[in-house]
């Protein structure tokens, strides 16, 4: 135990060096954690969008609603399926929806960005109970009125309550703001589907959203619709559809971020290695004394390696702690599937904490193993003579 206690006490004795080395590792772990939190936040936002009870029908071969077209005749066939649940009045919970991209300037910067404009029906709202108005009211049928996600209202000009924007050769007034519990819908503007179709002279829907009587009815519905010769459609669970949209972008963020982190980690590893080599050089006599007292080489090796690992653990914990504050930050990026902007928060999880600390320990081990081997190989006589 003496070599280990001695090593830990040395970290406190050399506080300034310890602080700088741990700080360098903390910055690298901060970047590593941030990347994982960014990808996790995107996936969490997309996965929280939609329900397993709902199914979405797109044109076969379409990667997203932005690329899909379903005419009214096909939509009526889809809405007549026996697996579809009904509302209190017995009407099927199925709705044709239209998705159009428009360009709006951001508040402050006036920089334009693509925004998802969704045409919905009353049934659409019934199938998405997580969407709740936080201010104002719903649009009046047949009017040029819209409601906007709270994320949109904060970031884009003309999307605040009572403001107006222009698209489809009309002026549209924002009469309500809605919240969806952090789902992707908060980055959209909603309008009456028929009004949207008229404004853009678009005689087709982008998709048909429907609610199943039972989640277990999905396979039978999927098989019937996809084999119907009158249709050329693909059926997918709504939750899976949104989760799939995040996969490519989340993977891109992780790969790029981890590559950058690995580059930065080289500096942190070199810093740890210099620190540990300095510790070995300054404590040659002490190492000789410990060897003379009967401590074997493996104890010396373990003590210096433990010192490096403990140093990296301090830095890793500091990096994760700093990264955790990003959980209060909202960022936005382009959804590769629809080419529209989506806002989401950094999301920290237990697995991110674990991998961040593991990555930190790996840096500590890499930076400490060679100096520890050097310390363990020192000759007792030569080490004592260096005093």
The region of weakest confidence among 54-63, 67-76, 371-380 is 371-380
Among 133-137, 290-294, 329-333, 335-339, the range scoring the smallest mean pLDDT is 290-294
The DSSP H or E segment spanning 113 is strand 112-120
Residue ranges covered by each domain of the chain: 2-47+245-385, 61-231
Q: Which residues of 130-162 are buried (b: 16+ CB within 10 A; e: fewer)?
A: ebeeebbebbeeeebbbbbbbbbbebbebbbbe
User: Band of the pLDDT at 383, cuts 50, 70, 90?
Assistant: very low
Per-residue pLDDT of 150-183, as tens digits, reads 888 888 998 999 999 998 888 999 999 999 888 8
Is the model's pLDDT at 245 over the cut of 70?
yes
> Closest Cα partner for 194 from 255, 239, 140?
140
Q: Give whole-number Cα distances, 295 to 1, 151, 282, 368, in Å.
A: 10, 63, 19, 20
pLDDT tens digit string along 342-352? 888 888 999 99
pTM above 0.75, yes or no: yes
Over residues 82-122, the pLDDT tens digits come to 999 988 777 889 999 999 998 899 888 888 888 889 999 88
Contact between 206 and 65 under an 8 Å Cβ cutoff? The reply is: yes
Among 257, 272, 276, which residue's Cα sits nearest to residue 355? 257
Rg of the chain in Å (alpha carbons)? 30
Q: Give the model's confidence band at 308: pLDDT under 50 very low, under 70 low, under 90 confident, else very high.
A: confident
């Amino acid at each position: 135990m003496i070599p280990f206690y001695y090593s830990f006490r040395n970290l406190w004795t050399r506080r300034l060096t310890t602080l700088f080395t741990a700080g360098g590792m903390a910055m690298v772990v901060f970047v590593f954690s941030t990347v994982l939190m960014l990808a996790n936040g995107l996936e969490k936002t997309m996965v929280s969008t939609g329900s397993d009870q709902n199914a979405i029908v797109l044109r076969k071969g379409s990667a997203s609603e932005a690329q899909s077209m379903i005419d009214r005749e096909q939509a009526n066939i889809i809405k007549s399926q026996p697996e579809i649940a009904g509302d209190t009045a017995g009407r099927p919970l199925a709705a044709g929806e239209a998705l159009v991209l428009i360009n709006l300037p951001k508040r402050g910067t006036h920089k334009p960005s693509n925004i998802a404009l969704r045409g919905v029906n009353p049934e659409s709202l019934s199938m998405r109970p997580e969407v709740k108005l936080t201010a104002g009211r719903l649009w009046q049928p047949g009017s040029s009125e819209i409601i906007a996600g709270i994320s949109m209202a904060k970031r884009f000009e003309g999307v605040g309550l009572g403001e107006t924007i222009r698209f489809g050769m009309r002026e549209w007034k924002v009469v309500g703001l809605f919240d969806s519990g952090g789902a992707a819908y908060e980055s959209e503007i909603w309008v009456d589907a028929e009004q949207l179709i008229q404004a853009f002279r678009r005689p087709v829907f982008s998709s048909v959203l429907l609610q199943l009587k039972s989640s277990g009815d999905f396979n039978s519905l999927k098989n019937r619709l996809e084999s119907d010769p009158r249709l050329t459609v693909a059926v997918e669970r709504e939750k899976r559809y949104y989760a799939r949209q995040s996969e490519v972008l989340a993977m891109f963020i992780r790969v790029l971020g981890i590559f950058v982190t690995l580059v930065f980690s080289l500096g942190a590893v070199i810093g740890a290695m210099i620190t540990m080599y300095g510790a070995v050089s300054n404590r040659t006599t002490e190492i000789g004394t410990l060897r003379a007292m009967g401590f074997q080489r493996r104890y010396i090796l373990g003590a210096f390696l433990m010192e490096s690992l403990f140093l990296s653990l301090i830095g890793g914990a500091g990096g994760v702690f700093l990264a955790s504050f990003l959980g209060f930050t909202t960022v936005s990026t382009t959804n590769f599937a629809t080419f529209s902007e989506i806002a989401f928060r950094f999301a920290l999880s237990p697995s991110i904490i674990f991998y961040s600390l593991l990555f930190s320990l790996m840096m500590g081990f890499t930076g400490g193993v060679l100096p520890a081997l050097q310390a363990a190989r020192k000759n007792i006589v030569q080490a004592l003579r260096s005093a």
